[in-house]
Amino acid sequence: MNSIIANRDRSTFRADEMICPYNGVTVCIASLSSMTIDKRKKEDFCATENYDSCPLFLSDVLRRSRG
């Protein structure tokens, strides 16, 4: 989820990231096998704030949480 924080005193704005942190140029960095991302998935998950619904992103989060 993205948010915008405005500081009226200093007139500064900050927008949080809206793209997936694992978004590579042609491959998903979250994938164990360096899976190629097709154009449709890239538009649906990688370049939007909807990346937390991506199965590859979720699988990576689950792998990391097993600590």
User: What stretches in the chain show pLDDT beneath 50?
Assistant: 1-16
* pLDDT at residue 62, as a whole number: 92
Q: What pLDDT does 67 receive? A: 63
Helix, coil or strand: residue 57: helix
- The C-alpha angle with vertex 30 and arms to 16 and 24, in degrees rounded to 5, equals 70
Using an 8 Å Cβ cutoff, are 44 and 50 in contact?
yes
- What is the per-residue pLDDT for 58? 93
Three-class SS state of 6: strand
Residue 1's pLDDT is 46
* Phi, psi of 17, rounded to the nearest 5 degrees: -60, 140
pLDDT of residue 17: 61
Query: Of 31, 26, 33, 23, which is closest to residue 56 (Cα–Cα)?
Result: 31
